[in-house]
């Protein structure tokens, strides 16, 4: 999985490419943990994300909880497969998906 | 190892002997040259001393006269007698008076060995030097050493014979035999060689013992120590302490000792780590057993119940998994089934699974709606969830009398329902996962099963099983294999799905736990 970070003041955009699963999730987690301090608007671009596993969902959930306290989190360009997973797991209700 | 040491010994010994031989040969040769040169000079000087005596006795003017007349007279005969006398008394080889000519020859005025006055003879060697003396009258630098079969080993002293006006008239040669030099030199060389070889042997023995003491012995100790260390399970021996040479070898011995100590520490460390690893492995093994024994695993599970048949299986991807299934009687006529998946894998997921499974079973009570069960369980899980984990879970309760099947879904996969001869994914509204957020409301759904209907529930390990080409197993393949085996018993259906997944995945490693449960409602229970 390739993670591209773009920081603009207090807003941070992460573009994810590939599969977010048990193997790659820890990298996203440490990436987020190191750069999320002081961010008020977090944008996750899922245009090139092929697959998300429960390990990936766990990071979305913990990140959402952090962002609830310090600003907002938006997920963009979610494809059909990933959206299905969000729907089935009920994540669609708690995430802001554009 | 033994051969190597011997070769080091040999090499050193050979080089010492070679060096000594070279040094003694060179010193012998230099001594020989020096000695023979001194001897020559001495003999040559004797010739000049004799020559001076002769020159004082003979008349230069008369000699000059002979160079004109080339005839003898009375004085010549007196001179001849005198010179012969001198020759015999002094032991000189030859005494002769000549005039060097331009054609490379010399003309005799007097010769003690048979040449007559006026005879010519070629100058065999040193022609230029001879001419130079004839021209300048100075004492030559060389000793005119030569050797011939006819005359033997000779050195010549050449002096100018001058007339009363100081003009050079002829040259006086006094040749001295040097045969004695040869014998003296031979005895000198022999003696020198003998002394040298004696010293050489002494030196070799002494140096050999010195080398052995300061070099070979410490090296042998270090070598033996390292050999023992390597072949004796890294046992430390104290032989290195003996090396107290105070030089690089002692340093080397210290370094070897330090290295061996480090190796011992390292081995101990590796042993500790390995033991720890084995312990963890053993504990994980026990954990696997505990976990699998937590799930109902004796089938048929309810042999005295003819109303339903149930079968379930779990294959964890690691030693312990995060998936779990459960089924139990809530009361006499209600059967509960649970299928759940904890996010993540391994020990953390397994620990969280235990909490989830226990809480769900505890809270599923007769008369309590499943929505309430999940609401309470969710809040309890949230309170003990520091790691941000969550559980997707599906629970259903079947009323064996009416066939009414209540269910609640917390973000779990859609169940397959076998009704009217066909398996179909049953669309239900998903709720949010358990342990994700507090105070989530879960709504309970209801459907009615007829005898012969089946429910197949599973975790995402089934649909997301991945083959070597990174393709997912997917809902369509699951649908196909379920419908291909729909008429069979629950355990046969699960085995068929498992086989189908295995053949699809091939050699690719299993990433996620694979868990399935199948319930068949066979006949209605008779109400009391």
Q: What is the pLDDT of residues B88-107, one digit of tens each?
A: 888 788 899 999 887 888 89
Contacts 24+ apart (CB under 8 A), B132-135: B133/B158, B133/B159, B133/B160, B133/B171, B134/B99, B134/B100, B134/B160, B134/B168, B134/B171, B135/B168
Residues from chain B contacting residue A51 (CB–CB below 8 Å): 472
CATH numbers and ranges of domains, chain B: 26-183 (3.30.450.20), 298-521 (3.60.40.10)
Taking CA atoms, what residue in B is nearest to A92? B432
Asked if B222 contacts B256 with a C-beta cutoff of 8 angstroms, the reply is yes
Instruction: Give the distance from residue B496's alpha carbon to the nearest chain A alpha carbon, in angstroms.
Output: 25
Question: For testing the chain A interface, which of B409, B411, B426 should be mutated: the one with the most A CBs within 10 Å?
Answer: B411
Over the range B177-209, which residues count as b (16 or more CB within 10 Å of their CB) and which as e?
Answer: bbeebeeeeeebbeebeeebeeebeebbeebbe
Q: What is the pLDDT of residues B237-288, one digit of tens each?
A: 888 888 888 888 889 999 999 999 999 999 999 999 999 999 998 988 888 8
pLDDT given at position B503: 94
Q: What percent of chain B has pLDDT over 90?
A: 38
Q: What is the mean pLDDT of chain B?
A: 88
Chain A residues interacting with chain B (CB cutoff of 8 angstroms): 21-22, 51, 53-55, 57-59, 61-62, 65, 87-91, 93-94
Residues 444-483 of B with CB under 8 A from A: 460, 464, 472
Give the best-scoring range by mean pLDDT among B48-52, B178-182, B193-197.
B48-52
pLDDT at B389 over 70: yes
Q: What is the Cα–Cα distance from A16 to B306, expressed in whole angstroms? A: 53
Q: What is the Cα–Cα distance from B172 to B52, expressed in whole angstroms? A: 10
ipTM summary value? 0.80
pTM: 0.61
Contact B433 A90 (CB under 8 A): yes
A93 vs B344, B413, B432: nearest CB: B432
Residues from chain A contacting residue B514 (CB–CB below 8 Å): none
Taking CA atoms, what residue in B is nearest to A18? B470
> How many whole angstroms from its chain centre is CA B515?
51
Task: Work out the average pLDDT over B304-310.
Answer: 93
At the topology level, CATH places domain A2-94 in Transcription Regulator spoIIAA (3.30.750)
A22 vs B342, B432, B511: nearest CB: B511
Q: What is the pLDDT of residues B392-439, one digit of tens each?
A: 999 999 999 999 999 999 989 999 999 999 999 998 888 899 998 888
CB-defined contacts A:B, below 8 A: 60
Taking CA atoms, what residue in A is nearest to B389? A58
Angle at B323 between CA B317 and CA B327, to 5 degrees: 135
Asked if A43 contacts A74 with a C-beta cutoff of 8 angstroms, the reply is yes
Task: Work out the average pLDDT over B161-180.
Answer: 86
Cα torsion for B1, B2, B5, B7, to the nearest 10°? -110
Residue B430 touches chain A, beta carbons under 8 Å: yes
Instruction: Give the distance from residue B330's alpha carbon to the nearest chain A alpha carbon, in angstroms.
Output: 26
Instruction: Give the distance from residue B512's alpha carbon to the nearest chain A alpha carbon, in angstroms.
Output: 9
pLDDT at B6 over 70: no
Lowest-pLDDT range of A61-65, B125-129, B436-440? B125-129
pLDDT at B203 over 60: yes
Task: Work out the average pLDDT over B184-189.
Answer: 78
Q: What is the pLDDT of residues B277-286, one digit of tens each?
A: 999 989 888 8
pLDDT given at position B4: 54
pLDDT given at position B264: 92
pLDDT given at position A76: 93
Give the best-scoring range by mean pLDDT among B16-30, B393-407, B503-517.
B393-407
Asked if B518 contacts B312 with a C-beta cutoff of 8 angstroms, the reply is yes
Task: Look at residue A20 and give its three-state secondary structure.
Answer: strand
Q: What is the pLDDT of residues A20-53, one digit of tens each?
A: 887 888 889 898 888 888 889 999 999 999 888 8
């Amino acid at each position: 999985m390739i993670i591209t970070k773009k920081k603009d003041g207090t807003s941070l955009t992460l573009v994810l490419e590939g599969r977010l699963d048990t193997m790659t999730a820890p990298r996203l987690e440490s990436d987020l943990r190191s750069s999320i301090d002081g961010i008020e608007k977090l944008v996750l671009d899922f245009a090139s994300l092929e697959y998300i596993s429960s390990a990936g969902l766990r990071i979305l959930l913990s990140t959402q909880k952090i962002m609830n306290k310090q600003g907002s989190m938006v997920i963009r360009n979610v494809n059909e497969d990933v959206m299905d997973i969000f729907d089935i797991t009920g994540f669609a209700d708690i995430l802001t998906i554009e | 190892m033994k051969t190597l040491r011997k070769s080091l010994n040999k090499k050193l010994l050979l080089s010492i002997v070679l060096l000594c031989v070279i040094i003694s040969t060179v010193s012998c040769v230099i001594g020989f040259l020096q000695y023979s040169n001194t001897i020559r000079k001495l003999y040559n000087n004797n010739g000049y001393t004799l020559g001076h005596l002769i020159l004082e006795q003979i008349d230069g003017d008369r000699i000059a006269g002979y160079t004109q007349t080339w005839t003898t007279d009375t004085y010549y005969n007196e001179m001849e007698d005198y010179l012969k006398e001198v020759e015999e008394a002094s032991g000189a080889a030859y005494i002769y008076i000549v005039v060097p000519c331009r054609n490379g020859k010399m003309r005799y005025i007097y010769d003690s060995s048979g040449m007559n006055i006026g005879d010519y003879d070629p100058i065999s060697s040193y022609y230029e030097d001879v001419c130079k003396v004839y021209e300048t009258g100075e004492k030559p630098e060389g000793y005119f050493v030569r050797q011939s079969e006819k005359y033997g080993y000779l050195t010549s002293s050449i002096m100018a014979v001058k007339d009363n006006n100081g003009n050079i008239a002829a040259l006086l040669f006094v040749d001295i035999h040097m045969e004695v030099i040869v014998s003296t030199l031979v005895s000198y060389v022999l003696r020198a060689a003998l002394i040298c070889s004696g010293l050489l042997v002494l030196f070799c023995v002494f140096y050999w013992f010195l080398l052995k003491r300061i070099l070979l012995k410490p090296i042998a100790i270090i070598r033996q120590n390292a050999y023992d260390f390597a072949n004796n399970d890294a046992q430390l021996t104290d032989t290195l302490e003996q090396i107290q040479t105070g030089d690089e070898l002692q340093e080397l011995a210290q370094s070897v000792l330090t290295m061996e100590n480090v190796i011992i520490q390292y081995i101990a460390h590796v042993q500790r780590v390995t033991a720890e690893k084995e312990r963890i492995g053993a504990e994980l093994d026990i954990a696997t057993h505990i976990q699998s024994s937590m799930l109902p695993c004796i089938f048929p599970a309810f042999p005295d119940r003819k109303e339903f048949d149930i079968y379930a299986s779990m294959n964890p991807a690691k030693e312990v998994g995060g998936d779990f299934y459960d089924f139990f009687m809530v009361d006499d006529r209600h059967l509960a089934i649970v299928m759940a998946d904890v996010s993540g894998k391994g020990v953390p997921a397994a620990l969280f699974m235990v909490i989830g499974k226990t809480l769900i079973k505890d809270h599923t009570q007769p008369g309590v709606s499943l929505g309430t069960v999940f609401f309470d369980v969710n809040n309890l899980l949230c309170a003990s969830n520091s790691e941000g984990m969550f559980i997707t879970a599906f629970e259903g309760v079947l009323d064996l009398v009416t066939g009414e099947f209540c269910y609640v879904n917390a973000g779990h996969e859609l169940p397959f329902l076998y009704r009217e001869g066909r398996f179909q994914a049953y669309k239900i509204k998903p709720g949010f996962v358990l342990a994700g957020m507090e105070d989530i409301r879960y709504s309970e759904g209801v459907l009615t099963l007829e005898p012969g209907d089946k429910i197949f529930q599973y975790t995402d390990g089934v649909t997301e099983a991945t083959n070597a080409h990174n393709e997912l197993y997917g809902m369509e393949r699951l649908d196909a294999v379920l419908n291909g085996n729909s008429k069979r018993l629950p355990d046969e259906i699960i085995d068929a799905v498992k086989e189908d997944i295995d053949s699809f995945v091939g050699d690719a490693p299993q990433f996620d736990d694979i868990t399935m449960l199948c319930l068949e409602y066979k006949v209605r229970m008779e109400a009391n």
